Structure 1
């Protein structure tokens, strides 16, 4: 970039003209940032970058007008003696501007004049320099605008990138670039893509040749520039790259001009509707930008369900273990095992055999139960009642009184 290119730039619309320093009009401008040179006129040159555009507005000119001629000439010669790439004077010209022009001619510094205010001039120059001086890179792929999301299709040749783009254009989406994508960096952390000048509006499809999308579908089917939001890598199904995370929890990124852009790996096989898949990918990216990640939300719900079930099982286990505590004097007391003692013969097991011995032992043997008291849990013995010695049941007569069945 140079002062000559600024004068020839039709998109600038600042009505700039060359006031002095024609010999240095081709000095390179290497920075997109612009400096105001107030402190430099006061003799403080620290921080002045000669390859940036320097602005002399109404404030700087009024400061120079208040200086005596000797001090003004010394300040201007020290400023222009830094070998500046370009100096722009904004606003109306004042009598001291003539001395500025003289110093610019003596040092060969290109001096431009803009009738606009300093704020308008700086904004326009920033936008132009950001575009012209941005880092650039060429990529092989297809860039298309799908629902406002810039999808960059990359992959090996003959994988079907152009065919996917044509199908998306038929569905109402917009083509940006085919085959060659000119990428440039824009702060903060954005990468834009544009077509090459000779290939603009054209799409090459095997079997059909080169198509002019603008002539076939109109101006609504094309776009001159678009930010790259998602990189879609189309791979053959038999490729090792086709083995991917099927849940969508693993995020991949593709670096373009030191900017990490989300990347999707989509396997391609005959009969698969790739245009629909790419449309859904664009919709899903819009949801992610809005804060909704379907895979993460489902995975979080599953983890929450597992955690709640594990907590319920743990609570049941605590209740069961708490109903049968271990006594410090010995082993745990069984729940339904009989406890026999030599002091109580009725509690000793008999030597009978068969089912009668088992029933007799079971009927005379007390059962240990857990009973809660004010001092905690304690084990008590509840004797069983022999069914042969149990009293007969009492029923109620129709008149409402008790009735003994033995009668």
Structure 2
């Protein structure tokens, strides 16, 4: 689900000065990209990205001063009358053209100003909007940081996700979220997860109740946000199901628009899930470093069998 944000959020986040068009401060921003309308000031509107926040820096405003009075009025009227445009933002604390202020008030187009340099403002607003407008979803599960690997533990209710997370915290790892994990795609193939504000730092243990992990184990036992790298799916052991015993089968699961590696761990009495998840995290790190134990074993087995066949001949 792609979110929306308002111009008022931008004003509050960057302490922007509202010069005109305050009536339109509630306009919605749908995209994170910004635009510097230099071509439009020259009169070329064929491909004007109207839906973007419009940035006016020293280059645009200096060029605007070279236009005739009629051209200045025409350009600003055409740009400010666009209903899709969220706002204009002037950088470097420069004076706003009278035509822009006039048309901004007329059409309810917010005209904002900051003392920041143009490149600095563009960078900061882009990061802010990418975070605000990133696709998000909420998944039932537990998110923990194990040896630096963000592991999303999923499974049916009551299978032991929270108890496993508690054991991992006791072993020195960190909890990000329990029960509900808010996941945001901040860039291509990059997902980050956090806990909803209401249940942040809390862990539910059946029979004990809700505990505050930070209060019991200290600030080092929690994290607020973590990149999700690996998904662990806990499922009840099925006697007739064939489970991967070598680790050659690499499954994935799709979250929003990203495919994440998936490890399925069968649950039955006597299995220490916390230790297994720790090993899964370390093994995943080794694979990313180029060492695959299962592949090494398979290659050695193939070489051994080939040698035995040669000896038999």
User: Do Structure 1 and Structure 2 share a fold, with TM-score over 0.5?
Assistant: yes
1:309-337 CA-partner distances (Å, limit 9, x unpaired): 65x569x7xxxxxxxxxxxxxxxxxxxxx
In structure 1, what is the equivalent of residue 288 of structure 2? 289
CA distance in 1, matches of 2:126, 2:205: 39
In structure 1, what is the equivalent of residue 210 of structure 2? 210
Report the structure number with the largest CA radius of gyration: 1
The correspondence of residues 5-404 of structure 1 with structure 2, limited to 5 A, is 5-9=9-13, 14-83=14-83, 84-94=85-95, 97-238=97-238, 243-307=242-306, 312=310
CA distance in 1, matches of 2:303, 2:119: 55
Query: Is the 8 Å Cα contact of residues 183 and 193 (structure 2) preserved in structure 1?
Result: yes
In structure 2, what is the equivalent of residue 4 of structure 1? 8
Offset of residue 98 of structure 1? 2.8
Offset of residue 20 of structure 1? 0.9
CA distance in 2, matches of 1:293, 1:37: 52
Aligned pair count reads 308
Secondary structure, counterpart of 1:39 in structure 2: helix
CA distance in 1, matches of 2:166, 2:227: 20
Q: 1:102 to 1:308 in 2, by over 3 A?
A: farther
Secondary structure, counterpart of 1:73 in structure 2: helix
- 1 or 2 for the larger relative contact order (CA 8 Å, sep ≥6)? 2
CA distance in 2, matches of 1:134, 1:231: 21
CA distance in 1, matches of 2:302, 2:169: 41
CA RMSD of aligned residues (A): 1.8
Secondary structure, counterpart of 1:198 in structure 2: helix
CA distance in 2, matches of 1:70, 1:307: 86
CA distance in 2, matches of 1:207, 1:239: 29
CA distance in 1, matches of 2:212, 2:32: 35
CA distance in 2, matches of 1:38, 1:289: 46
Query: Is the 8 Å Cα contact of residues 181 and 194 (structure 1) preserved in structure 2?
Result: yes
Offset of residue 302 of structure 1? 2.8
Q: 1:239 to 1:139 in 2, by over 3 A?
A: farther
Q: 5+ unaligned residues in a row in structure 1: which ranges?
A: 317-407
Offset of residue 293 of structure 1? 1.6
